[in-house]
Amino acid sequence: MTFQYDNVYINATSTVAGPYEAKGPLGKLFDKTYEDLYNGEKSWETAEVQLLKESIDILLKKANKKKEEIDLAIAGDLLNQITSSSYAIEELNLPFLGIYSACATSTEGMIIGASLIDSGKIKNCITATSSHNMSSEKQFRNPTEYGAPKPKTATFTATGGACLYLSNEKSKVRVESSTIGRPIDMAQQDPYNMGAVMAPGAADTIYRHLTDLKRQVTDYDLIVTGDLGVYGKEILIDYMKTEYGIDISNNYDDCGTMLYDLEEQKEVMAGGSGPVCSALVNCSHIIKLMEQKKLKRVLWVATGALFSPTFVYQKENILSIAHAVSLEVVE
Amino acid sequence: MEKKVYENLVSQHKPTETRAQNAFIAFVTGGIVGVIGQLLIEFYSYNLDISTQDASVFMIVTLIFFASLFTALGFFDKWVTFAKCGLLIPITGFAHSMTSAGMEYRKEGPIFGLGSNIFKLAGSVILYGVVSAWFFGLLRLLIMGG
């Protein structure tokens, strides 16, 4: 399912990131960074809520809007019952849609927001997402102090909160079209190789997007996936070639490999992951490059592994999903 | 794409793990833990004038204490990431698994947090340890008569 939009603009973005992201190559581009993973809170979970809350505050300042002027907040995260999002939005007293597509949550929110704005139902909205390395480790893996050895294909959940302010008021960058992804099962069961889980999901969405709009890869200056990591990136390039005969290698990158310095920051293994991973990279870096007209059209394909520890222990496959939004410079 | 064909594609892009290196590091660090244990036994039996059997218990308690302390101080996880099974297989790993789980869940309170989660990782070891102890005890009784 692909939509095209006429009047949806990105007016402002905001990013708040943790210590590992601050040390990465994009460290200086974030609006705010923390040196401590607790950022002054008592637990990992409340620390994540705080990151998201702060990124929304910064967003409102940057967009020069009062919270009363916001029609809708759409947010999602990785924690059970998407609590980080609801607790962060509660104080703002806004109409709220909580959403979940694992690490593809960021673009899912944008698709919902853009569709509502384009149809005239709302004038503007905030789309927000967050993740926290430690709260995710605690929920999905082992206690954070355990330090269990991981294989090289493992990815590292990014810490931060990132938001976009979308509206029908003209700005430098617009949301031009979007494609809603489908859950994909490629019989993958390894939670330490999420790149392999998600690559077919990304490929399916990219292929559908291009065929629905009768476009070529070269119509985009950049195609970025969310968090496939080093090995998932290789798999996607290979998969697109063998399955669809499409070569994306010339203008393709992955946010998981852009967020960290993979040579220096060995602890991130194959790269970053988590819903905030692609949001941090796009909101701090890529959208800014577009505002400077260094990139004209970008396809942001956030990739999610719909992973449940319970299902994995029950020997079920891990599903993946990817939602794409196409961003375009307003001439 | 067929799922089996995809599996091949995935394995082509899978990096080789440095198993030999990991095993060597684990062998050496595990060995060092063993040497420390033996030195502790010698130390206790000599200084406290107790039997080797009693000194072994003292040694285990000492290793558990320091593993838990180092976990609590926040650097034992980094040692484990480096040494892997060299620190996870000895008694230090058992202590570390309980302390790390305890620290993680203390925010949820003494009953629903600490109490119900402290054996999250160690529970399996205890269950199958008790079951296998019972089984081998039975074998010993049947074969050797007790």
Q: Read off the pLDDT of each residue in A301-324 and give the average, rounded to a whole number.
A: 96
Q: How confident is the model at residue A292 (pLDDT cuts 50, 70, 90)?
A: very high
- What's residue A247's pLDDT? 96
> Do B6 and A239 lie within an 8 Å CB cutoff?
yes
List of chain A residues whose C-beta atoms are within 8 Å of the C-beta of residue B74: 145
Across the interface, of B13, B78, B79, the residue whose CB is closest to A231 is: B13
**pLDDT, tens only, A187-224:** 999 999 999 999 999 999 999 999 999 999 999 999 99
Q: Which fold has domain A173-329?
A: Peroxisomal Thiolase; Chain A, domain 1 (3.40.47)
* Residue B15 contacts A where some CB pair is shorter than 8 Å: yes
Do residues A180 and A76 lie in contact, with contact meaning Cβ atoms separated by under 8 Å?
A: no
**pLDDT, tens only, A220-246:** 999 999 999 999 999 999 999 999 999
Q: What distance in Å separates residue B49's CA from the closest CA in chain A?
A: 37
Q: How confident is the model at residue B1 (pLDDT cuts 50, 70, 90)?
A: confident
Residue B145 has pLDDT above 90, yes or no: no
**pLDDT, tens only, A134-152:** 999 999 999 989 988 899 9
For the record, the structure tokens of A77 come out as 């995260």
Per the prediction, chain A carries an average pLDDT of 96
* Residue A196 contacts B where some CB pair is shorter than 8 Å: yes
> Do B17 and A238 lie within an 8 Å CB cutoff?
no
> Do A149 and B80 lie within an 8 Å CB cutoff?
yes
Domain boundaries, chain A: 2-167, 173-329
- What's residue B68's pLDDT? 96
- What's residue A148's pLDDT? 85
> Do B100 and A234 lie within an 8 Å CB cutoff?
no
Q: What distance in Å separates residue B32's CA from the closest CA in chain A?
A: 19
* Residue B68 contacts A where some CB pair is shorter than 8 Å: no
A173-329 matches A2-167 in CATH topology: yes
> Do A145 and B14 lie within an 8 Å CB cutoff?
no
**A:B CB pairs within 8 Å:** 79
- What's residue A281's pLDDT? 98
- What's residue A256's pLDDT? 97
Across the interface, of A142, A153, A242, the residue whose CB is closest to B121 is: A142
- What's residue B85's pLDDT? 92
- What's residue A301's pLDDT? 98
Percent of chain B residues topping a pLDDT of 70 = 100
Q: How confident is the model at residue B41 (pLDDT cuts 50, 70, 90)?
A: very high
- What's residue A118's pLDDT? 97
* Residue B71 contacts A where some CB pair is shorter than 8 Å: yes
The Cβ-side half-sphere exposure at B11, using a 13 Å CA radius, reads 6
Residue B146 has pLDDT above 80, yes or no: no
* Residue A245 contacts B where some CB pair is shorter than 8 Å: no
* N-terminal to C-terminal alpha carbon distance within chain A: 27
Is residue A124 helix, strand or coil? Answer: strand
Domain boundaries, chain B: 18-121
A2-167 CATH, one of 3.40.47.40, 3.30.420.10, 3.90.320.10, 3.40.50.1820: 3.40.47.40
Q: What distance in Å separates residue B121's CA from the closest CA in chain A?
A: 8
Q: Read off the pLDDT of each residue in B106-131 and give the average, rounded to a whole number.
A: 94
Please name the residues between 125 and 144 in chain B that touch chain A, using a CB distance below 8 Å: none
Own/partner pairs, B90-95, CB within 8 angstroms, 24+ separation: B90/B30, B90/B33, B90/B34, B90/B37, B90/B63, B91/B60, B91/B63, B91/B64, B91/B67, B92/B33, B92/B63, B92/B64, B92/B66, B92/B67, B93/B67, B94/B64, B94/B122, B94/B125, B95/B63, B95/B64, B95/B65, B95/B67, B95/B68, B95/B71
Q: Read off the pLDDT of each residue in A260-279 and give the average, rounded to a whole number.
A: 95
List of chain B residues whose C-beta atoms are within 8 Å of the C-beta of residue A152: 15, 17
Q: Which residues contact B94 (CB under 8 A, 6 or more apart)?
A: B64, B122, B125
Assembly ipTM: 0.88
Q: How confident is the model at residue A91 (pLDDT cuts 50, 70, 90)?
A: confident
Q: Which residues contact A36 (CB under 8 A, 6 or more apart)?
A: A19
> Do A238 and B80 lie within an 8 Å CB cutoff?
no
**pLDDT, tens only, A12-55:** 999 999 999 999 999 999 999 999 999 999 999 999 999 999 99
